[in-house]
Amino acid sequence: QKEVEQNSGPLSVPEGAIASLNCTYSDRGSQSFFWYRQYSGKSPELIMFIYSNGDKEDGRFTAQLNKASQYVSLLIRDSQPSDSATYLCAVTNPGTALIFGKGTTLSVSS
Amino acid sequence: DAGVTQSPTHLIKTRGQQVTLRCSPKSGHDTVSWYQQALGQGPQFIFQYYEEEERQRGNFPDRFSGHQFPNYSSELNVNALLLGDSALYLCASSPGTAGNTIYFGEGSWLTVV
């Protein structure tokens, strides 16, 4: 059974701080990794994807991948109240469906 | 550029009834996947359609069926509805089946009473 694990939270950070969201996965053969943001009552929105070990930066967001440890993380710098949402980690191999974690709820206080 | 569109957005059904949900993929996308998201859970994969055929299926009973049309749009059908089928049903589209970036529609909220 392929699994993706996330701490459900809530993770609470003050405005302007760095939020760190973590995800582990069980399938060592996984090749593609995604972070989605989901506001309450809305559908998931793709934030970032990463395929290679290391860091990938996009604006205030940085995805980090460590395949040896089967670990992927998302850092949000200068967190804003509008970043308050549930963040879903998803993992896949080419030709297979995305497997999602349950999500981590982030709360940014002003 | 229209994104993934789904209909209806909300619906209420009674146990034992049948429901059909519809999805139009993002322009240029030929693959449609359906996910079920229960409250407090991540999306769970139901099945994927490509070239009008079911290509992959998740761990869902045969009560869940689907179809893809020549214009790549898709339907999800659920028969003999159970209370546990109450969830947000998400359609996602992608260019091909490689499992790369997929984009979700706004979803259809199904409540079974």
Task: For residue A74, give the nearest of A20, A36, A26, A110 by alpha carbon.
Answer: A20
CB-CB neighbours of A49 under 10 Å: 18
Contact B65, B77 (CB under 8 A): yes
How far is the alpha carbon of A77 from chain B, nearest alpha carbon, in Å?
Answer: 24
Write down the pLDDT at residue B99: 57
Write down the pLDDT at residue A96: 79
Mean pLDDT over the full length of chain B: 94
- A:B CB pairs within 8 Å: 57
Contact A108, A84 (CB under 8 A): yes
Backbone angles phi, psi at B28, to 5 degrees: 90, -5
Fill in the DSSP letter of residue B85: G
**Which residue of chain A has the CA closest to B40?**
A102
Mean pLDDT over the full length of chain A: 94
Instruction: Say yes or no for a CB contact (<8 Å) between B43 and A100.
Output: yes
